[in-house]
A and B are shown apart, each in its own frame.
Chain A
Amino acid sequence: MMTVEEIKAAIEAALPDAGVEIVCNPSVSGQHSLRLAPAQAVAVAKFLRDDLLFDYLSNVTGVDWPDKEVAEKVRVTRPVTKTVDGVETTVEETVEETRKRVAPGCLEAVYHLYSVAQKQGPVVFRLKTVNRTDQVELPSLTPIWRSAEFQEREIFDLFGIVFTGHPDLRRLLMWDGFKDHPMRRDYVEPDDFEYEPTAHDQVLARALAHQAASRTAQEAAAPALGAGQEGTGASQ
């Protein structure tokens, strides 16, 4: 079984500007993966298939990394005005500041490879988009491994990654006119929580919010309803 380091070395020996990085997995399983540069991904994939004999692509999946707010401490030097003995002077001082910045999110496609010929695997590699909004293209690996076809379509459907070079990129589970990407973390489901018989946790919170909203709407529409109506409204 080749380690990721060996695979990385082999790729770099064959394709010097491949831009392969190792992504460490700190868990016990230690299943480290490779991150490929999207521009070279097709060439690297071809090398993996033809030279390292990874002939079987078992799984393709997506990951959504939303925009994240990170707080970091920075040392800044700035002029501070001080009054010393009645005289105003400006001195440079270095202070520590906590700054918040938004680390831009991205989308990721993860591929799992096996080699039937050499009885080894899995080898995991990832491709990352530039951001989550407008630069979401990745090269399709369907021309290399045919089994990627439906799975890339599914990722296109549920995460919104556009695979360039895919022979038939259409939505797979949802319909064509559908606008959202349901597996993204910021997906908002249609408000359909009026009837949740065994709601709990988040679903219960949304069901209660829905019921409260529809009650207010009802009351606004018909303010002169009788007391009996209000009674049933309160028990909902």
Chain B
Amino acid sequence: MVDEGLKIELGKQGVFVTTIEELYNWGRRSSIWPMQFGLACCAIEMIATTMARYDIARFGAEVFRPSPRQADMMIISGTVTKRMAPQVVRLYNQMAEPKYVIAMGACAISGGPFKQGYNVLKGIDRYIPVDVHIPGCPPRPEALLQAFMTLQKKIDGQHLTGEGRPRHLDAEAQGEFPVPVPGEHDLEPASNPGVWTAPVVIR
């Protein structure tokens, strides 16, 4: 590792010093292209975030891709109904690694106002790993930008080797997640135990 102070000194002299890891993570975090899909009212805030006033282009994420093959990130913006959940998981599976998920809004993280509804999934993190959860109904565009910066920090902090390396650099890691099937009374299974376990509620 190069000492930060020395790096700045060298920079002043016109010498650029970096590590492969830093360069690699800089590249990854500076052009996260989201997938173009919205699920409910939160999507309106997501659209606002992309427009000139909030301007997500500042983070290199203004290119919304209509195909999962070209997207790096999925913003789950809205209510995931039980009918939609298998499609969301399928789209996630079709995205190429490295891929990230932001669960935007109360619905996406927990079912939100519809938590006790018969047709709404109680949080998409039951089936796919979520990197950043944003609460709010809907979260303001600033909150989405904050989530974006959190994700970038997370990417920046990742090491390319060893424990906790990104999934696409880990041959053992699971890249596909089982798609739930609509059953007679509910989705089957009701959650993916490899991704989500019920938190212990202390009462």
Contact = CB atoms under 8 A, between A and B. Distances in A.
User: Do the two chains bind?
Assistant: yes
Interface of A: 173-175, 177-180, 182, 187, 189-190, 192, 194-197, 203, 207, 211, 232, 235-236
A196 B184 contact: no
Contact of B190 (A187, A190, A196, A236): A190
B201 A175 contact: no
Contact of A235 (B83, B115, B118, B202): B202
A236 B200 contact: yes
Interface string B8-52: 000000000000000000000000000000000000000000000
Going nearest first, the 9 A-B pairs with the smallest beta carbon separation are A190-B186, A182-B118, A194-B198, A175-B182, A179-B184, A195-B198, A190-B185, A235-B202, A173-B119
Contact of A182 (B119, B184, B202): B119
Contacts of B81: 173
Contact of B83 (A173, A189, A190): A173
Interface of B: 81-83, 110, 115-116, 118-119, 122, 182-186, 190, 198-203
B183 A189 contact: no
Given A179-B184, A192-B122, A192-B186, A174 B83 contact: yes
Contacts of B202: 235-236
A179 B183 CA distance: 9
A175 B198 CA distance: 26
Contact of B185 (A173, A180, A196, A211): A180
Contacts of B185: 178-180, 190
Contact of B119 (A174, A195, A196, A232): A174
Given A173-B83, A189-B116, 8 more contacts: A175-B82, A177-B183, A190-B186, A192-B190, A197-B110, A197-B201, A235-B202, A236-B202
B182 A178 contact: yes
A180 B183 CA distance: 11
A208 to B, nearest CB: 8
A232 B118 contact: no
Contacts of B190: 190, 192
A188 B18 CA distance: 60
A196 B186 contact: no
A70 to B, nearest CB: 30
Contacts of B83: 173-175
B76 to A, nearest CB: 18
Contacts of A203: 116
Contacts of A177: 182-184
